[in-house]
Amino acid sequence: MATIYIDDKPYEVKDGQNLLQACLSLGLNLSYFCWHPALGSVGACRQCAVKQFKDENDKQGRLVMSCMTPASANIRISIGDAEAKEFRQDVIEHLMTNHPHDCPVCDEGGECHLQDMTVMSGHHDREYRFKKRTHINQDLGPFINHEMNRCIQCYRCVRYYRDYAGGRDFNVFASHDNVYFGRHEPGTLESEFSGNLVEVCPTGVFTDKTQKKHYTRRWDLQVAPSICVHCGLGCNTTPGERYGQLRRIRNRYNGEVNGYFLCDRGRYGYEFVNSAQRVKQVVYRRRDDAGVETVEKAVKGDVLRYLARLLADGATAIGIGSPRASVETNFALRALVGPENYFTGMTALETRLVSSMIEILKTGPARTPSLDEIGDADAVLVLGEDVTNVAPMMALRLRQSVRNEPMAVAHKIGIPDWNDAAVRGAVQTKKGPLFIATPAATKLDEIATSTYNAAPDNLARLGYAVANAIDPEAPTGDRVSAEVRQLAETIATALKGAKKPLVIAGASCANECIIQAAANIVWALCKTEHAAALSFTAPECNSVGAALLGGRSLDEAIQTVRDGRADVVIIAENDLYRRAKRADVDALFEHAKHVVVIDHSPTATTAKAEVTLPAAAFPEGDGTFVNNEGRAQRFIQVYVPEGDVQESWRWLRALRVATGKADVAEWATLDLALASVEEAVPALSGVRNCAPPPAFRALGQKVPRQAHRYSGRTAMRANINVSEPKIQEDPDSPLTFSMEGYRGELPASLLPSFWAPGWNSAQALTRFQEEIGGPLRGGDPGVRLIEPAAGSAPAYFGDAPKVFAVRKNDRLAVSLYHIFGSEELSALSPPLAERIPALYAALSPSDAEALEVANGDTVELRLNGAAWRAPVSVRPDLPRGTVGVPAGLAAAEFLSAPAWISVEKVSAT
Running DSSP on this structure, what letter comes out for residue 307?
H
Site membership for ligand SF4, residue 828 (CB under 6 A): no
What is the sign of the dihedral through the CA atoms of 653, 729, 612 and 242? negative
* Residue 759 CB burial class (10 angstroms; 0-12, 13-18, ≥19): buried
Site membership for ligand SF4, residue 167 (CB under 6 A): no
Write out the binding residues for other proteins, residues 229-258 only, by CB under 8 A. Answer: 243
Site membership for ligand FES, residue 46 (CB under 6 A): yes
The number of residues that bind other proteins (CB under 8 A) is: 47
CA–CA distance, 767 with 764 (Å, rounded to integer): 6
For residues 13-44, one letter each, b for 16 or more C-beta atoms within 10 angstroms of the residue's C-beta and e for the rest, the string is beeebbbbbbbbbeeeebbbbbbbbbbbbbbb
**With contact defined as beta carbons under 8 Å apart, do 513 and 800 qualify?**
yes
Exactly one of 50, 67, 152, 387 binds ligand SF4 (CB under 6 A); that residue is: 152
Report the amino acid identity of residue 860.
Answer: E
Q: Which residue intervals of 630-759 are DSSP H helices? A: 648-658, 670-680
Exactly one of 150, 242, 334, 608 binds ligand SF4 (CB under 6 A); that residue is: 150
CA–CA distance, 40 with 821 (Å, rounded to integer): 34
**With contact defined as beta carbons under 8 Å apart, do 8 and 51 qualify?**
no
Exactly one of 19, 84, 157, 415 binds ligand SF4 (CB under 6 A); that residue is: 157
137 contacts which partner out of ligand SF4, other proteins, ligand FES, none, CB within 5 to 8 A by kind? other proteins
Exactly one of 225, 266, 734, 831 binds ligand SF4 (CB under 6 A); that residue is: 266
CA–CA distance, 508 with 516 (Å, rounded to integer): 14
Closest CA to 346 of 539, 155, 153, 482: 539
At residue 115, the 3 state secondary structure works out as: helix
Torsions phi, psi of 197, nearest 5? Answer: -55, -35
CA–CA distance, 633 with 624 (Å, rounded to integer): 5
Question: Which CB, 65 or 157, lies closer to ligand FES?
Answer: 65
Question: Which CB, 758 or 876, lies closer to ligand FES?
Answer: 758
Site membership for other proteins, residue 727 (CB under 8 A): no
CA–CA distance, 103 with 207 (Å, rounded to integer): 13
CA–CA distance, 886 with 889 (Å, rounded to integer): 6
Site membership for ligand SF4, residue 233 (CB under 6 A): yes
What is the sign of the dihedral through the CA atoms of 531, 537, 542 and 546? negative
Q: For ligand FES, which residue has the nearest CB?
A: 67
3-state secondary structure string across 309-374: HHHCCCCCEEEECCCCCCHHHHHHHHHHHCHHHEECCCCHHHHHHHHHHHHHHHHCCCECCCHHHH
* Residue 301 CB burial class (10 angstroms; 0-12, 13-18, ≥19): exposed
Exactly one of 57, 719, 907, 909 binds other proteins (CB under 8 A); that residue is: 719
Question: Which CB, 53 or 625, lies closer to ligand SF4?
Answer: 625
Site membership for other proteins, residue 743 (CB under 8 A): no
Question: Which CB, 130 or 291, lies closer to other proteins?
Answer: 130
Site membership for ligand FES, residue 65 (CB under 6 A): yes
The 368-407 site mask, x for binding ligand SF4 (CB under 6 A), equals -----------------------xxx--------------
Exactly one of 6, 13, 23, 44 binds ligand FES (CB under 6 A); that residue is: 44
Helix (H) or strand (E) holding 626: strand 623-626
Site membership for ligand FES, residue 87 (CB under 6 A): no
155 contacts which partner out of other proteins, ligand SF4, ligand FES, none, CB within 5 to 8 A by kind? ligand SF4
Site membership for ligand SF4, residue 154 (CB under 6 A): yes
Report the amino acid identity of residue 277.
Answer: Q
Question: Which CB, 172 or 607, lies closer to ligand FES?
Answer: 172
Q: How far is the CB of 695 from ligand SF4 (least distance, A)?
A: 30
End-to-end CA distance of the chain: 78
Exactly one of 115, 400, 601, 633 binds ligand SF4 (CB under 6 A); that residue is: 115
Question: Which CB, 236 or 606, lies closer to ligand SF4?
Answer: 236
Helix 512-527 to helix 456-470 angle (10° resolution) is: 10
The 94-133 site mask, x for binding other proteins (CB under 8 A), equals ------xxxxxx---xx-------------------xxxx
Torsions phi, psi of 572, nearest 5? Answer: -105, 120
Part in contact with ligand SF4 (CB under 6 A); list of ranges 230-238, 563-571, 640-648, 735-743: 230-238
Site membership for other proteins, residue 721 (CB under 8 A): yes
The number of residues that bind ligand FES (CB under 6 A) is: 14
392 contacts which partner out of ligand SF4, other proteins, ligand FES, none, CB within 5 to 8 A by kind? ligand SF4
Exactly one of 17, 21, 47, 121 binds ligand FES (CB under 6 A); that residue is: 47
Sequence length of the chain is 909
Exactly one of 4, 13, 24, 32 binds ligand FES (CB under 6 A); that residue is: 32
Question: Which CB, 156 or 278, lies closer to ligand FES?
Answer: 156
Helix 482-497 to helix 512-527 angle (10° resolution) is: 50
Site membership for ligand FES, residue 67 (CB under 6 A): yes
Running DSSP on this structure, what letter comes out for residue 382?
E
Q: Report CA dihedral (883, 888, 889, 895) to the nearest 10 degrees.
A: 30
159 contacts which partner out of ligand SF4, other proteins, ligand FES, none, CB within 5 to 8 A by kind? none
Q: How far is the CB of 720 from other proteins (least distance, A)?
A: 9
384 contacts which partner out of other proteins, ligand SF4, ligand FES, none, CB within 5 to 8 A by kind? none
Site membership for ligand FES, residue 157 (CB under 6 A): no
Question: Which CB, 118 or 520, lies closer to ligand SF4?
Answer: 118
Q: Report CA dihedral (448, 453, 455, 460) to the nearest 10 degrees.
A: -40
Exactly one of 48, 235, 469, 494 binds ligand FES (CB under 6 A); that residue is: 48
Write out the binding residues for other proteins, residues 177-216 only, by CB under 8 A. Answer: 178-180, 212, 214-216
295 contacts which partner out of ligand SF4, other proteins, ligand FES, none, CB within 5 to 8 A by kind? none
Give the CA distances from residue 632 to residues 192, 260, 695, in Å, rounded to whole numbers and listed in that order: 26, 20, 20
Write out the binding residues for other proteins, residues 462-481 only, by CB under 8 A. Answer: none
Exactly one of 221, 262, 658, 827 binds ligand SF4 (CB under 6 A); that residue is: 262
Site membership for other proteins, residue 274 (CB under 8 A): no
Report the amino acid identity of residue 733.
Answer: S
Helix (H) or strand (E) holding 173: strand 171-173
Helix (H) or strand (E) holding 65: strand 62-65
Site membership for ligand SF4, residue 549 (CB under 6 A): no
CA–CA distance, 643 with 278 (Å, rounded to integer): 12
Q: How far is the CB of 663 from ligand SF4 (least distance, A)?
A: 38
Site membership for ligand FES, residue 95 (CB under 6 A): no
CA–CA distance, 319 with 332 (Å, rounded to integer): 10
**With contact defined as beta carbons under 8 Å apart, do 218 and 115 qualify?**
no
Part in contact with other proteins (CB under 8 A); list of ranges 393-401, 574-582, 714-722, 868-876: 714-722
**With contact defined as beta carbons under 8 Å apart, do 303 and 282 qualify?**
yes
Q: How far is the CB of 77 from ligand FES (least distance, A)?
A: 13
Helix (H) or strand (E) holding 266: helix 264-268
* Residues binding other proteins (CB under 8 A): 100-105, 109-110, 130-137, 147, 149-150, 173-176, 178-180, 212, 214-217, 219-220, 243, 709-716, 718-719, 721-723
Residues engaged in binding ligand FES (CB under 6 A): 20, 32-35, 41, 43-48, 65, 67
Q: Rule CB under 6 A: which residues touch ligand SF4?
A: 99, 102-104, 106, 108-109, 112, 114-115, 150-157, 181, 201-205, 228, 230-231, 233-235, 258, 262-263, 265-266, 391-393
